[in-house]
């Protein structure tokens, strides 16, 4: 593991039941970088993220945060490790029975033990940071898809995590809204130095945001490329090259 590696995925094999989805996954993510997980549909991008954030236990291998293995840690340590990252889910996963303010306050109150009034203040700030000031009392069903994503980001950032995971942030968004979200991601990284792990297959986002990227191949069931997006464009693997040039070789 290199000095600056904050996350290390080591020899990860993942799957459901007896079905192996991907194996031999290994890469490191340095502090403060934007790391992209990409691949064709069904290759297991989101599944890899679910392994990294502790939602799915690996068949083999582990995910290390500053050298500490998540899956070999005990329950208490895992809880502590979870404090270090926030997750923005594909469809935001806001709690539909709570207002945006309550959504963002929840981790502050229940996890960080902040008093309700203080948590509300922080929640208002986080919502303002993602451009949702004035929508604090709205319910998720009352706002648009792009706004839900931003509210989800506010909630993911609630506890000032060191690492932010994004699961296909552009899914279901128009190009402009998607672009604004990308800008927001860069802004967050620039201002807070947050490490960002991005699951996506959107080429503009990959080239605009990604410092490094890994490519998962659905057919070979393993990673076939690792490097900067520009390096991957020149990858010896024709599928990776085709993917990054949208099939125009």
Partner 1 sequence: MTGPGTNPASTPGPRVAFDRATDGTLRVRLSGRWTLADGVPPADEVVGELERGARRLVLEDAGLESWDSSLVTFVHEAAAAASRLGVALDASSLPEGARRLLDLARAVKPRVQPAAVEDDALTARVGRVALHVWGTAGDALTFLGETVLAFGALVRGRARFRRIDLLHAFEATGVAALGIVALINFLIGAVLAFVGAVQLQQFGAAIYVANLVGIGVLRELGALMTGIVMAGRTGAAFAATLGTMTVNEEVDALRTMGLRPAEFLVLPRVLATALMMPALVAYADLLGLLGGLFVGVTVLDLGTVEYLRQTQTSVALRHAWIGLAKGIAFGAVVALTGTYYGIRCGRSAAAVGEATTKAVVMGIVLVVVVDAVATVVLHVLRL
Instruction: Choose, by CB under 8 A, the member of 27, 64, 85, 243 that binds partner 1.
Output: 85
Least distance CB 107 / partner 1 (angstroms):
5
Residue found by looking up tokens 């950032």 in the block: 157
Q: Which is nearer to partner 1, 64 or 85 (CB)?
A: 85
And the tokens for 192? 């807070």
The torsion angle over the Cα atoms of residues 43, 202, 233 and 86, rounded to 10 degrees, is -70
Distances (CA, A) of 151 to 34, 43, 75, 213, 237: 21, 28, 29, 26, 38
Q: Which is nearer to partner 1, 93 or 192 (CB)?
A: 93
Q: Which is nearer to partner 1, 39 or 86 (CB)?
A: 86
Binding mask 47-66 for partner 1 (x = CB under 8 A): ---x--xxx-----------
- The neighbouring-strand residues paired with 213 are 36, 227
Distances (CA, A) of 104 to 54, 78, 127, 184: 21, 22, 8, 17
Question: What is the SS3 assignment for 187?
Answer: helix
Least distance CB 86 / partner 1 (angstroms):
8
Instruction: Choose, by CB under 8 A, the member of 90, 184, 233, 241 that binds partner 1.
Output: 90
Q: Which is nearer to partner 1, 87 or 214 (CB)?
A: 87
Q: Where along the sequence are the contacts to partner 1 (CB under 8 A)?
A: 50, 53-55, 79, 82-83, 85-87, 89-91, 93-96, 106-107, 110-111, 155
């Amino acid at each position: 593991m290199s000095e600056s590696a904050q996350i290390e995925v080591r020899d990860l094999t993942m799957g459901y039941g007896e079905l192996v989805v991907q194996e031999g996954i290994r890469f490191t993510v340095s502090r403060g970088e934007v790391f992209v997980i990409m691949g064709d549909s069904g290759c297991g991008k989101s599944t890899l993220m679910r392994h990294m954030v502790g939602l799915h236990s690996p068949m083999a291998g582990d995910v290390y945060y500053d050298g500490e293995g998540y899956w070999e840690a005990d329950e208490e340590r895992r809880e502590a490790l979870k404090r270090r990252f926030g997750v923005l889910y594909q469809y935001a996963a806001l709690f539909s029975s709570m207002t945006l303010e309550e959504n963002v306050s929840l981790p502050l109150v229940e996890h960080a033990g902040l008093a309700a009034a203080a948590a509300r203040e922080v929640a208002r700030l986080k919502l303002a940071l993602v451009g949702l000031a004035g929508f604090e009392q709205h319910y998720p069903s009352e706002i648009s898809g792009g706004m839900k994503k931003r509210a989800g980001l506010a909630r993911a950032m609630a506890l000032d995590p060191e690492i932010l995971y994004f699961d296909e942030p552009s899914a279901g968004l128009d190009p402009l809204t998607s672009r604004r979200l990308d800008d927001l991601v860069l802004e967050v990284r620039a201002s807070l130095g947050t490490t960002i792990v991005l699951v996506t297959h959107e080429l503009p986002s990959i080239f605009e945001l990604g410092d490094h990227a890994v490519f998962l191949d659905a057919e070979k069931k393993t990673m076939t490329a690792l490097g900067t997006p520009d390096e991957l464009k020149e990858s010896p693997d024709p599928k990776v090259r085709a993917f990054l040039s949208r099939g125009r070789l």
